[in-house]
């Protein structure tokens, strides 16, 4: 992936990893568009970062995605990079049989990226140096049992990214998976943003950008902090890592 001169869409760019990536790519000389469901947060991003554009989007809404894709490509015809970052992470108890959380998580974390990428792919295939980046998680490889559907959607995103990469081989569209570790954001609540056990957000973004720049053909962006989760199966210590994560 080239690091400058792009027109980049980042879903869920109104906070956390999405906003931090938007600011990092803006600083590199890219045109950046962020989306989110919270208008006030989007306005805050734009106010703090002159040059970033904002558009409201609920990635869990199929009809909204169709209309959004048409407007986006009309307003930003140079669009060549999509970063599927929007996601939710909510705890679930199997004994409670509350299916609403699972359905919302699948709609946002899995169907959202698939629908949006599908809608924008014809446009991207007409661009040089195009890329689709999708945020999975270290929990795609070793699940945290209190968030079963979240972990399942991230495992599915990993598999989907591998298949998409294979199908698009030989085209102008590069497929990249970002698999963050536990990072200081508000994904699971305010406590996570200051949890000393989580990787500082600035450190995660800095290392991610460095890998993207130094390894332009990389298919997976794995910071050092996520390596134990990513390679637990290969290293034959999955049960030990799972035990530590869920102890």
- Residues catalogued as catalytic: 150
Instruction: Round to whole Å and give the CA distance between 181 and 183.
Output: 6
Residues 6+ apart with CB under 8 A from 15: 36, 41, 185, 186
Instruction: Round to whole Å and give the CA distance between 19 and 11.
Output: 9
Contact 17, 89 (CB under 8 A): no
Q: 231, exposed or middle or buried, with CB in 10 Å at 0-12, 13-18, 19+?
A: middle
Three-state DSSP state, 83? strand
Alpha helices in the chain (DSSP H): 16-27, 39-48, 62-75, 99-106, 112-124, 148-167, 190-193, 201-214, 227-230, 238-246
**Going edge to edge, which strands form the sheet with 31-36?**
53-56, 31-36, 7-10, 81-84, 130-135, 173-178, 220-221
């Amino acid at each position: 992936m080239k690091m400058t001169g792009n027109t980049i869409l980042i879903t869920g760019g109104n906070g956390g990893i999405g906003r931090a990536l938007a600011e990092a790519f803006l600083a590199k000389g890219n045109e950046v568009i962020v989306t989110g469901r919270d208008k006030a947060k989007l306005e805050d991003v734009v106010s703090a970062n002159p040059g970033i554009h904002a558009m409201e989007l609920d990635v869990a809404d199929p009809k909204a995605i169709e209309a959004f894709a048409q407007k986006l490509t009309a307003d930003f015809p140079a669009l060549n990079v999509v970063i599927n970052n929007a996601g939710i992470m909510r705890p679930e108890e199997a004994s409670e049989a509350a299916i609403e959380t699972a359905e919302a998580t699948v709609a946002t974390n899995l169907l959202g990226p698939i629908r949006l990428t599908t809608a924008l792919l014809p446009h991207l295939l007409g661009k040089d140096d195009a890329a689709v980046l999708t945020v999975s998680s270290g929990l795609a490889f070793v699940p945290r049992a209190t968030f079963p559907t979240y972990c399942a959607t991230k495992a599915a995103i990993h598999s989907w990214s591998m298949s998409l990469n294979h199908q698009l081989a030989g085209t102008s569209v590069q497929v990249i998976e970002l698999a963050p570790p536990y990072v200081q954001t508000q994904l699971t609540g305010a406590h996570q943003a200051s949890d000393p056990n989580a990787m500082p957000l600035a450190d995660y973004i800095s290392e991610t950008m460095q890998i993207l720049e130094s390894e332009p053909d990389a298919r997976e962006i794995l910071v050092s902090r996520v390596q134990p989760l990513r390679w637990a199966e290969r290293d034959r210590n999955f049960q030990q890592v799972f035990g530590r994560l869920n102890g």
